Structure 1
Amino acid sequence: MVIYSTWQANRNINSLMAQYIQRYLEQDLKQGLSQFPVVAILGSRQCGKSTLAKKVIQDLGKSVYLDLEVVSDLSKLNDPEAFLRANQDKLVCLDEIQRIPEIFPLIRGLTDITRRSGQILVLGSASPELLRQTSESLAGRINFIDLTPFLISELPENSLRQHWLRGGYPDSFLAPSDAVSWRWRGNMIRTYLEQDVPNFGFTISTQTLQHLWMMLAHTSGQLLNTAKLADSLGVSRTTITFYIDILEKTYMVRVLRPLFTNLKKRLVKSPKVYLRDTGLMHHLLNIEDQNTLLGHPSYGGSWETYALEQICSTLGYSWKPAFYRTSNGAEIDLVLEKGMRRIAVEFKASTAPKATRGLHHAMQDLDITEAYLVAPLPEETTYPYREGVTVTTVVQLPALIEPSPQSD
């Protein structure tokens, strides 16, 4: 794992506001453009896709950028074939591509003619499943890159508490005060519900979706109980499942599924649902500051939500995440699998974390010999807890699991 950072330790976070923070996926994006005709940066609204794209475009040169939410830019695609042919010697960047998904078959045809890499860069606020024509029209021609809001590994040292409270959305994290960050997150939630979801083509009750989102914030990291949620909201279980699917495919929640093994044990089969950004989670829970967070009943769930998202997003698709729980109490918050390797991760909101008997039994069940307790400790903290179990932080864990070549 490689972590890219341009900032020195202990630098004042607010001094970053007028500067570009290098994203760890920048090199992946440049590599993708050198290898594929089409590259797609996907992620939630306001997570930094446009900023990253403009930075890379500036570095590469000879490009054209269209924001399809700007009427004047969208009108340039009244005849999309003419526009793309006129700019076929440039890198064409189309931002908010979900507004015109019908353009994908045309992109396929034109890129097949020129057969060169780095022709089209598209940015979208929906998953490939929602942008269905991408997979149908551009199979083998497109490289998908999922961008998250800021990860802790991209930020200065000593950023954890602010990052955990405000979340990783750039405008929220870099706000000059908690109050400004709070207002931005409230507007973000409202815009998502009132504009973004309808723009994706969903005709649903935004009030019901908001109430479900709030309930998921209260239960983030717990087993999904669609029957209980349906009863509380007065809708069907099918509706609950459909709404959670919308939240997942627009990068608002992460659905963590249970580990399926051949063990003869009664395993929990329901998934867990996590909010992907703790800043939005805290706004939905009415947690405005650090002191409120420290005393809130969801403090432990908030930490688990934060740490799991940082780890899964940093490791990416090379590791398969799941959780393990049996009816007799054996449990692991996060099981990471890659090839024949299997790692256990437990999230502890205490500064003096302790392993549970349930973790010990689960490690025996799965024959796991490598486990980590992840706690909100100083970023460089790592120490052995007992044989096979190490205490560490969200910053250190990815490097412990998958050291970069530079650290060998």
Structure 2
Amino acid sequence: MIRRTIIKQLHSRLEAVPVVALLGSRQVGKTTLAKQLQLGKHCHYLDLERPSDLAKLSDPELYLSGFENQLVILDEIQRIPELFPVLRSLVDERRQKGERCCHFLILGSASPELLQQSSETLAGRISYLELTPLNLLELPQQDDASATHWFRGGYPDSYLSVDDATAMQWCDDFILSYTERYLPQMGINSTPIQLRRLCSMLAHQQGATLNISQLANSLGISAKTIRHYLDLLEGLFLIRRLPAWSRNAGKRLVKAPKLYLRDTGLLHSLAGLSDLESLLGHPLCGHSWEGYCIEQILQKLPKGTGASHYRTQAGAEIDLMLEARDGSRTAIEIKRTLSPKLTRAFRESIETVKADRGFYIIPEGERYPMADNVEAISLSDYLELL
């Protein structure tokens, strides 16, 4: 599938910045996208998980200095963060010669926060882009595209599987690779069984307000350790913590963030669901749809837009609050129904947070008004608005 938006952004950054970091979880398609780039100059690719490529960097400055006027692609950069000072030195040397275009494209499975050395060493020389799993708008317009995407998730190998069973097997293998190999490499000392239990517990808390103490007690580890694990999982693009709206609204507000697994294919695999029919009859269905819609929307938000959830101690809530740079606010309620009912609690919440407009996100159907400033709209149509 051609990911036109991210390719356009990547080309723009490569023309303007010495180092570009394309980040995203494993198996999301970073390597495939990087190898398909057509830049008008030679590209040299190194996989830092391949021993033969790693051996070439025994003297990284000597080796990398031999690729002037070429783009060097370094895959899985988090494996050797000591490369960052070398990249800084080479970039500065080439800048002095008048070379302004990109010299290095680095691919990584960890967020900038986990790659702190790059943020510090390459400050002013690096630009970050996140490659997410496939978004609904990137898919061919087919009748069942939305339902298939919701159930299988957006990882290309899962979404493009021949059937749901194969997709869930891929997701299960993906989770296994993280719990048995990748997370321990990132410094987590728990056993694979304990990590799998943690992931399963997070799946069953999809869309719930985060309760650190409950997770810690259930797993028999400290709250501090749970926070560290969650930070790591978020930094690896696997979970999302949606913060609580925190303005002074004269109400007693829930202050805890909401927790979501970012990819619904992984969520459904952890919940033991085999196909769409089993999901539709499962208690997780509503929370899964909510998380799916929120992730699709957040992937397409204009830069600088703030996102949060709103909930009072009395139970009034807004699933997703968006605040644009100009201060305008949008309140979003997500319902898996074609005929949502405008509730008094939602209208009062809109007034409390001073939202300019509200939307009910529904699976499909035509857009229509529900009140003066509230509309029902399908997910795909709302994404087009963004």
TM-score category (smaller protein): over 0.9
Secondary structure of the residue aligned to 2:250 is coil
* Identity value in percent: 46
Secondary structure of the residue aligned to 2:61 is helix
The whole-number CA distance in structure 1 between the counterparts of 2:359 and 2:134 is: 23
Instruction: Show the 5 A alignment for 1:322-361.
Output: 322-339=308-325, 340-361=327-348
Residues 137 and 383 in structure 2, CA contact (< 8 A), matched pair in contact too: no
The whole-number CA distance in structure 2 between the counterparts of 1:103 and 1:205 is: 30
The Cα of 1:97 is off from its aligned counterpart by 0.6
The whole-number CA distance in structure 1 between the counterparts of 2:82 and 2:273 is: 41
Residues 185 and 279 in structure 1, CA contact (< 8 A), matched pair in contact too: yes
One-letter amino acid of the counterpart of residue 42, structure 2: K
The Cα of 1:206 is off from its aligned counterpart by 3.0
Residues 359 and 375 in structure 2, CA contact (< 8 A), matched pair in contact too: yes
* Matching of residue 53 in structure 1 with residue 38 in structure 2: no
Residues 68 and 95 in structure 1, CA contact (< 8 A), matched pair in contact too: yes
- Equivalent position of 1:114 in the other structure: 94
Which runs of structure 1 show a deviation greater than 4 angstroms over 4 or more consecutive aligned residues?
Answer: none
One-letter amino acid of the counterpart of residue 117, structure 1: C
Secondary structure of the residue aligned to 2:307 is strand
Greater displacement, 221-230 / 103-112: 221-230
The Cα of 1:40 is off from its aligned counterpart by 0.2
Residues 178 and 288 in structure 1, CA contact (< 8 A), matched pair in contact too: yes
Residues 328 and 356 in structure 2, CA contact (< 8 A), matched pair in contact too: no
- Equivalent position of 2:5 in the other structure: 24
* Matching of residue 162 in structure 1 with residue 148 in structure 2: yes
The Cα of 1:60 is off from its aligned counterpart by 3.8
One-letter amino acid of the counterpart of residue 337, structure 1: E
Q: Deviations over 1:250-280 (max 9, x none)?
A: 1110000001102222111111110000000
One-letter amino acid of the counterpart of residue 388, structure 1: N
Instruction: Show the 5 A alignment for 1:34-45.
Output: 34-45=15-26
Residues 209 and 243 in structure 1, CA contact (< 8 A), matched pair in contact too: no
- Equivalent position of 1:210 in the other structure: 196
The Cα of 1:316 is off from its aligned counterpart by 5.5
The whole-number CA distance in structure 1 between the counterparts of 2:87 and 2:341 is: 54
Q: Deviations over 1:126-164 (max 9, x none)?
A: 011111111110111110001111111100113100000
Q: Which one of the candidate residues 92, 96, 102 is aligned to 2:76? A: 96
The whole-number CA distance in structure 2 between the counterparts of 1:354 and 1:83 is: 64
Cα 1:316–1:243 shift into 2, 3 Å: farther
Instruction: Show the 5 A alignment for 1:3-402.
Output: 20-56=1-37, 58-115=38-95, 116-158=100-142, 159-315=145-301, 317-339=303-325, 340-378=327-365, 381-400=366-385, 402=386
The whole-number CA distance in structure 2 between the counterparts of 1:337 and 1:222 is: 22
One-letter amino acid of the counterpart of residue 49, structure 2: E
Q: Deviations over 1:196-239 (max 9, x none)?
A: 11222333333222212111111111101112222221222222
One-letter amino acid of the counterpart of residue 349, structure 1: R
The whole-number CA distance in structure 2 between the counterparts of 1:36 and 1:394 is: 35
Residues 258 and 271 in structure 1, CA contact (< 8 A), matched pair in contact too: yes
One-letter amino acid of the counterpart of residue 311, structure 2: R
The Cα of 1:21 is off from its aligned counterpart by 2.5
The Cα of 1:351 is off from its aligned counterpart by 2.1
TM-score (norm 2): 0.95
Q: How many residues align?
A: 379
One-letter amino acid of the counterpart of residue 359, structure 1: F
Secondary structure of the residue aligned to 2:318 is strand
Q: Deviations over 1:308-361 (max 9, x none)?
A: 000001215431110111122321110011121111111101122223222111
The Cα of 1:55 is off from its aligned counterpart by 1.4
Report the aligned-residue RMSD: 1.4
Secondary structure of the residue aligned to 1:303 is helix
